[in-house]
Amino acid sequence: MRKKSVNLALQGGGSHGAFTWGVLDYFMEDERVSVGGISGTSAGAMNAAVLAQGYMENGADGARESLEKFWRQVAHMGRFSPIKRSPLSVLTGSWDMGYSPTNVMIDLFSRVASPYDINPLNINPLRDLVESTIDFEKVRACSVLKLFIAATNVHSGKIKIFEREELTADMVLASACLPSIYQAVEIDGVPYWDGGYVGNPPLYPLYHSTKSKDILVVQINPVERNETPKTAMEIQNRINEISFNSSLLRELRGIDFVHRLLNDNKLDEEYYANILMHRVEGAEKMNELSASSKMNSEWEFLVYLRDIGRESAKTFLDENYESLGVKSTLDLRREFS
């Protein structure tokens, strides 16, 4: 069976990024696809850098080993976090962190005080995680992969894309910097926040980065929910989901517009890329999870998410392998109808 090349766009979403770990793990194991370029934001950026490091060490097997090591370290560090599931959540088997007393207290504090007030020493456990698990010299040397990491320029409000050849720990941390929790990450005197506000994940860097015209979005933030949020926390969580999906939806709408013009022979395909769009999502199971569970780093939960990701990746390839390189499997017209 011929191996087909795809580009990956990895969303951010806290510990839900373990779903993406599962997708990547399956793709590295499966013989049907190869990865040419990756764009990522927040947890997606971390997954991308970890995969590149492992790939540089020992190819696809090294990438899988590196990803598992990273997420094991996430779980290990989470054991020391003051934010734990409430006894009721543990009793009912819910992964929800919304009723954790510490989580409620931190949420309240974040509405009246900034990280500069609460955390003047700028202690960031994510820095310890990234610096202890990712060798950026190996990431920068992994020439078989194109990497594009998104962050938000606080001053301009515009997206900043960091590429593999220049990538540092600060750049990955900038991509994951939630301003209600962490102080802005400064790079060359410019402050950056989480890339999810302007590109979650960005698609345009992948248009001409590799020979493949296929972009597969690994989506972990639900676009649709059938319930109306009513509590203050539910409302805030839904606002965050909508805002963190808005940039992706804008780019998908733009791609759909170009598709229509190309189909009507109003654009020259020599100058405008006919991007083939695909998506992997564990919608049925992922939508059951609350936004607060993105803060849950228990190993059992991460493995649960990984397995959903592997299952979703297998289902996608089994159903859509023949379409790769031929046509889009994500129906954008239906998406926006």
pLDDT at 272: 80
The long-range contacts involving 316-325, CB below 8 angstroms and separated by at least 24 positions, are 316/216, 316/278, 316/280, 317/26, 317/30, 317/32, 317/33, 320/278, 321/4, 321/32, 321/33, 323/278, 324/4, 324/6, 324/33, 324/214, 324/276, 324/278, 325/4, 325/5, 325/212, 325/213, 325/214, 325/276
What average pLDDT does the chain have?
A: 92
For 45-80, what is each residue's pLDDT tens digit? 999 999 999 999 999 999 999 999 999 999 999 888
The lowest-confidence range among 87-96, 135-144, 211-220, 250-259 is 87-96
Average pLDDT over residues 3-20: 96
| pLDDT above 80 for 82 | no
Q: What b/e string do you get for 274-305 counting C-beta neighbours within 10 Å, with b at 16 or more?
A: ebbbbbbbbeeebeebbbbbbbbbbeebbbbb
User: 225-267: per-residue pLDDT in tens?
Assistant: 888 988 887 888 888 889 889 999 999 999 999 888 888 888 8
Contact in structure between 63 and 21 (CB atoms under 8 Å): no
Percent of the chain with pLDDT over 70: 100
Beta strands 159-163; 146-153: pairing state: antiparallel
> What is the pLDDT at residue 236?
82
Q: Which of 4, 6, 79, 25 shows the shortest CA–CA distance to 308?
A: 25
pTM for this one?
Answer: 0.94
What is the helix (H) or strand (E) element at residue 323, kind and residue range? none
pLDDT mean over 270-277: 85
* Per-residue pLDDT at 1 exceeds 70: no
Average pLDDT over residues 185-199: 97
| CA-CA-CA-CA dihedral for 20, 297, 132, 178, to nearest 10 | 80
Indicate whether 275 pLDDT > 70: yes
Considering Cα of 229, then 243, then 17, then 309, what sign does the dihedral take? Answer: positive
Task: Give the alpha-carbon dihedral of 71, 76, 80, 84, to 10 degrees.
Answer: 60
pLDDT digits over 109-151, tens only?
777 789 998 889 998 999 999 999 999 999 999 999 999 999 9
Q: For residue 190, give both structure tokens.
A: 């410019």
